[in-house]
Chain A
Amino acid sequence: KAGVTQTPRYLIKTRGQQVTLSCSPISGHRSVSWYQQTPGQGLQFLFEYFSETQRNKGNFPGRFSGRQFSNSRSEMNVSTLELGDSALYLCASSLYMGNEQFFGPGTRLTVL
């Protein structure tokens, strides 16, 4: 079974722009969570989607948003990018909410 995939793998943007990242979960998995990883803050939870609905949200500003499609694929969007948004963005899929989460390879976002 194929693992979690994320596109693009690398992205360079400038301050003020917006960006959309994509995540395809493991086949059959219905829950997708998003995390931000930085050297200073570590791994931080952004939000979780299940059945096309955001079920849980971490402590991030409203510039960070997401959505999930009927095939369980998910996208996250960051608007008005700031330098501090430079990070590795990881998505993780699980069969249902509350099950083991399996991570994708991440998207490395650099904001200049």
Chain B
Amino acid sequence: GENVEQHPSTLSVQEGDSAVIKCTYSDSASNYFPWYKQELGKRPQLIIDIRSNVGEKKDQRIAVTLNKTAKHFSLHITETQPEDSAVYFCAASSHWNSGGGADGLTFGKGTHLIIQP
């Protein structure tokens, strides 16, 4: 099955600086890569996703890049703000798999992003 590794486990950056979180995946059949943000005591929220036919996607201060050859994808947050403090999870799945269905999301272990004022 799929295995997703996420680094670093904790990331502390100064407010206004950029943050980068990296993930690698093992299954070359994976073709969908979402990122979720989870604040303490709250549900994971989808912040951005990318499919394997795209190399990069941006949404305001957030961007995701995908390198299919190396099987890694990264989340970039620019001009970080205090409200960016949270745990970020990357995930991977195969949409669609050989059985005609979609696999469940396989998540990384999460990155605790701390924005220092």
Contact = CB atoms under 8 A, between A and B. Distances in A.
A94 to B, nearest CB: 9
Contact of B103 (A44, A56, A59, A103): A56
Interface in B72-117: 89, 91, 95-96, 101-110
Given A59-B1, A98-B95, 16 more contacts: A35-B105, A42-B89, A42-B108, A42-B109, A43-B44, A43-B110, A45-B106, A47-B104, A50-B101, A56-B101, A90-B43, A90-B44, A97-B102, A98-B32, A103-B36, A104-B43
A42 B45 contact: no
A1 B91 CA distance: 26
Contacts of A105: 42-43
Most buried by B among A4, A43, A46, A100: A43
B46 interface: yes
Contacts of B36: 103
Nearest to B107: A43
B86 to A, nearest CB: 14
Interface range, B side:
20 to 34
Interface of A: 4, 33, 35, 42-48, 50, 55-56, 58-59, 90, 97-98, 100-106
Nearest to B108: A42
Contacts of A103: 36, 43-45
Interface in B1-35: 1, 32, 34
